[in-house]
């Protein structure tokens, strides 16, 4: 198999797991291609000897499988590079929580044995697309986790007029609004009180950030519906964050959010059950008194 590898370039200690990964792949006779930034980090900064067959530049590459080694942030960057190529992505978690990158370093050997034997599953994850007339936002308008509209200054909240398929829903007076996929429901959306959504439910969660009214609650809609946002701000601008990458927008910019015309393929171990991951990561049932 041909693997394309993307990795975390900020945490040297956690990158040591990459050496074990290369050993396992070479043992299987795999072809290893690597993101140039990650390769330079390992060889120049960490002085590692990295056995690669080719380096990847930009988004023009092919592979049988992409490997993301890091946390969920690294996985999101890899997904952005994969785009609509339909290459499945395996996430090896050397970060903290890890819902997308959920294979631990200790599980690498058995995981690649299973992959070599064809014993793994591939899940389709929906993607959001942002449509607007801002050129900076249109350079990378797709989100696997969420698209968030946020206030830019530190004091005044913003007003976000929200419509669904052209029908008025609400004007949110809040610090922001998070539009999340089921995949992103356990990320930023969850931290501001949004619901946890099963990955294949074909829905979108709309969750306000620190709303001025206590009556305002998150709402879940179908993912084939279109969301339109018009934002007013005392500073006449606001932030739009697409999977954590943010740009400043003028308040005259209308935002339209819809499901993209492609999905991201996520590799899971054959015995993977979402609820097991949920209990483990959220520590449900753990007794905090011990």
Residue ranges of domains in the chain? 2-118, 127-261
User: What topology does CATH give the domain 2-118?
Assistant: Rossmann fold (3.40.50)
Topology alike, domains 2-118 and 127-261: no
How far is 159 from 174, CA to CA, in rounded Å?
A: 7
Active site annotation includes 72: yes
- Say what the pLDDT of residue 290 is: 64
Burial grade of 134 (CB within 10 A; 0-12, 13-18, 19 or more): middle
Q: Of the residues 60, 72, 134, 276, which is catalytic?
A: 72
- Residue 83 · residue 76 · CB < 8 Å: no
Q: What's the confidence (pLDDT) of residue 191? A: 95
Furthest C-alpha separation in the chain: 60
pLDDT score, position 101: 87
Binding-site residues from annotation: 72-73, 77, 145-146, 175, 186-191, 210
Which of 227, 259, 40 minimizes the C-alpha distance to 142? 259
**Nearest residue to 260 via CA among 71, 116, 128:** 128
Report the distance separating Cα 216 and Cα 251, nearest Å: 23
Q: Tens-of-pLDDT digits for all 290 residues of the chain? A: 999 999 988 777 777 788 889 999 999 999 999 999 999 988 888 888 888 999 998 888 999 999 999 989 999 999 999 999 999 999 999 877 778 888 889 999 999 999 999 999 999 999 999 999 888 888 899 999 999 999 987 778 999 999 999 999 999 999 999 999 999 999 999 999 999 999 989 999 999 999 999 899 999 999 999 999 999 999 899 999 999 899 999 988 999 999 999 999 999 998 888 888 888 888 887 776 76
The residues pairing with 138 across neighbouring beta strands, listed in sequence order, are none
**pTM, entire model:** 0.92
pLDDT at 135: 84
**β pairing state of 203-209 and 158-164:** unpaired
Q: What is the pLDDT of residue 9?
A: 84
The architecture (CATH level 2) of 127-261 comes to: Sandwich (2.60)
Query: Which parts are annotated binding residues for NAD(+)?
Result: 72-73, 77, 145-146, 175, 186-191, 210
């Amino acid at each position: 198999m041909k693997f394309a590898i993307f990795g975390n370039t900020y945490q040297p200690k956690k990158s040591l797991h990459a050496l074990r990964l290369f050993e396992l792949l070479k043992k299987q006779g795999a072809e290893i291609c690597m993101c140039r930034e990650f390769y330079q980090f390992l060889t120049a900064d960490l002085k590692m000897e990295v056995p690669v067959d080719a380096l990847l530049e930009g988004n023009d590459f092919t592979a049988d499988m992409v490997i993301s080694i890091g946390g969920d942030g690294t996985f999101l960057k890899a997904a952005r590079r994969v785009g609509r190529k339909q290459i499945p992505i395996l996430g090896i978690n050397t970060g903290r929580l890890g819902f997308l990158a959920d294979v631990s370093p200790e599980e690498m050997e058995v995981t690649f044995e299973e992959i070599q034997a064809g014993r793994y599953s591939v899940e389709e994850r929906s993607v959001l697309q942002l449509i607007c007339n801002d050129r900076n936002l249109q350079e990378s308008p797709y989100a696997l986790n969420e698209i968030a509209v946020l206030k830019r200054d530190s004091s005044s909240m913003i007003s976000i007029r929200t419509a669904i398929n052209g029908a008025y829903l609400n004007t949110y007076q809040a610090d922001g609004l998070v539009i999340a996929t089921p995949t992103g429901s356990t990320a930023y959306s969850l931290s501001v009180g949004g619901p946890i959504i099963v990955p294949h439910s074909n829905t979108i969660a709309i969750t306000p950030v620190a709303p001025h009214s206590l009556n305002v609650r998150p709402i879940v809609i179908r993912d084939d519906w279109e969301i339109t946002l018009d934002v007013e701000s005392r500073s006449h601008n606001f932030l739009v964050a697409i999977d954590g990458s943010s740009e400043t927008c003028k308040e005259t910019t209308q935002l339209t959010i819809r499901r993209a015309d492609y999905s991201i393929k996520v590799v899971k171990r054959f015995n993977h059950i979402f609820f097991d991951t949920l209990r483990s990561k959220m520590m449900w049932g753990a007794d905090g008194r011990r």
